[in-house]
Amino acid sequence: MAGIFITIEGIDGSGKTTQARLLVDWLNGLGYRVRATREPGGTEAGKRLRKLVLSPERSISPEAELFLYLADRAINASQVVRPALAEESIVLCERHTDSTLAYQGYGRGLDIALLRRLNTIATGGVKPDLTLVLDLPAAKARLDEARLDRLESEGSEFLARVGDGFRELAAGEPDRMKLIDASGDVRAVHEHIVALVCELLEKQPPSGARKREGP
C-alpha cells in the first residue's frame, strides 16, 4: 500500500472533528486525494453500530462495548481504509486503535496486551503512519452537557484516565504518536497539525495521492 494513513485521537471534547475537517480541507486545497472516515461510524454498518454503542439509553458492559468497537473497526478497515490506501490516497481517520487502548484499556481496565492483539485482527495489521493526539485536560473538555452520549457521560475521572492513557501511549511510540496541546485556539492547533503532516509528506510522499500541483 502506497497511501498514507493518519489518525486523530484524544479525549471527548478535545476538538478532533473540527481539526479533522480543517486538515482534510487543507490537504484537498493542495491537490491531495483524501479519504476521510471515523470510528465508529465510517461506513453504513458503522453508523448503526455507532448509535448502538454510544446511545445514552443503553447500559453496555465493557466487554460488549469493546467488541462493538472492534466490529466497526474491522468493517471500516476492510471497506474504507485498506482500499483507499491501495488507491494511494491519504486516509484520515478520526479515532482508531489507540482509542481502544485508551478508553477500554486505561479507562475501563481491560487487558492492554489483549486489546493490541484484537486491534491487529480487526485492522488486518494496518497501522497509522502518523497519529495526532489532541491533548487536553479532562476538566477542559468541550462537551455539550445537553447532548452527552454514553461515553461522554462517564465523567471527568474516566476522561482523566483516558487522557493519561493517550499520553502514556504517545510516550511509548514518539515517532508515530505526536501530542498536540489542544487548549489553544482552533487555528493554532491546526497550524501545529499542518507542520507535523508536512514533515510526514516530505519523508513519505504518497505515490499517487496528489492529483494536481498545489499552490
Confidence of residue 189 (pLDDT cuts 50, 70, 90): very high
Q: Between residues 214 and 50, which one has the greater pLDDT?
A: 50
Residue 113 lies in a domain: yes
Residue 31 lies in a domain: yes
pLDDT value at position 2?
78
pLDDT value at position 143?
81
Distance CA 56, CA 159 (A): 16
Return the top range by mean pLDDT from 50-64, 123-137, 194-208: 123-137
Residue 193 lies in a domain: yes
What digits encode the pLDDT tens for the residues 105-140? 999 999 999 999 999 999 999 999 999 999 999 988
pLDDT value at position 49?
95
Residue 213 lies in a domain: no
Confidence of residue 149 (pLDDT cuts 50, 70, 90): confident
pLDDT value at position 211?
54
Residue 64 lies in a domain: yes
What digits encode the pLDDT tens for the residues 204-214? 887 655 654 44
Confidence of residue 102 (pLDDT cuts 50, 70, 90): very high
Residue 37 lies in a domain: yes
pTM of the model: 0.93
Task: Please check the confidence at residue 92 and state whether its pLDDT lies above 50.
Answer: yes
pLDDT value at position 214?
43
Contacts by 171-179 with C-beta closer than 8 Å and gap 24+? 173/131, 176/127, 176/128, 176/129, 176/130, 176/131, 177/9, 177/98, 177/131, 177/133, 178/130, 178/131, 178/132, 178/133, 179/133, 179/135
Q: Please give the residue range of the domain that contains residue 194.
A: 4-203
User: Residue 48 sits in a domain of what CATH number?
Assistant: 3.40.50.300
Mean pLDDT along residues 190-201: 97
For the chain, what is the mean pLDDT? 93
Residue 212 lies in a domain: no
In the chain, the number of structural domains is 1
Residue 99 lies in a domain: yes
